[in-house]
Amino acid sequence: MKIALIAHDKKKQSLINFSLAYKNILEQNDLFATGTTGKKISEATGLKIHRFLSGPLGGDQQIGAKIATNEMDLIFFIRDPLTAQPHEPDILALMRLCDVHNIPLATNIGTAELLIKGLARGDLSWREVIHENGHKK
């Protein structure tokens, strides 16, 4: 599975802690992240992560492009709902793409834990069927 890891500044430590807790599951997948988030998670966990630009510089849009072309299977986007984000339109566009293309999206650690445990159980294997059949949506 191709998994994106994204976190707003005040939520990066939460995503790092999550990545440490579920490193054994995450390392079995192809990981992608926005710039700073990917760097911090990789340094803390040793996980191999393909890094895009930072979110405000276009990283959210780069991940959105992967979603639109069926090249992303699961998104962990730990958001800070209490802080205004200068690139809010990009964030909303990424979330809309997840809805349009039926990509599971966790925006908080509670949902992230449910999705990662589902991933470990094989509950997301339907994404592999989509890839095998060449479907775009």
Q: Of these residues, 9, 60, 99, 123, which one is catalytic? A: 60
Residue with tokens 């209490």: 82
What pLDDT shows up at residue 125? 85
Least confident segment among 11-20, 99-108, 110-119, 128-137: 128-137
What pLDDT shows up at residue 137? 45
What pLDDT shows up at residue 135? 58
Positive or negative, the CA dihedral 93, 56, 45, 13 is: negative
Over residues 84-90, mean pLDDT: 84
Structure tokens at 111: 């949902």
Residue with tokens 């959105």: 64
Domains and CATH numbers, the chain: 2-133 (3.40.50.1380)
Is the pLDDT at 129 greater than 70, yes or no? Answer: yes
86 burial class (0-12, 13-18, 19+ CB within 10 angstroms)?
exposed
Choice between 40 and 84, residue whose per-residue pLDDT is larger: 40
* Cut 0.85: pTM above it: yes
Task: Please say whether the beta carbons of 2 and 71 come within 8 A.
Answer: yes
Distance CA 43, CA 119 (A): 24
Query: Rounded to a whole number, what is the distance in angstroms from the first to the last CA of the chain?
Result: 16
Q: What would the pLDDT profile of 14-42 be if each residue is shown by its tens digit? A: 999 999 999 999 999 999 999 999 999 99
Compute the half-sphere exposure of residue 113: CA atoms within 13 Å on the CB side of its CA: 7
9 carries an active-site annotation: no
| CA dihedral angle for residue 29, residue 99, residue 92, residue 115, rounded to 10 degrees | -40
What pLDDT shows up at residue 55? 87
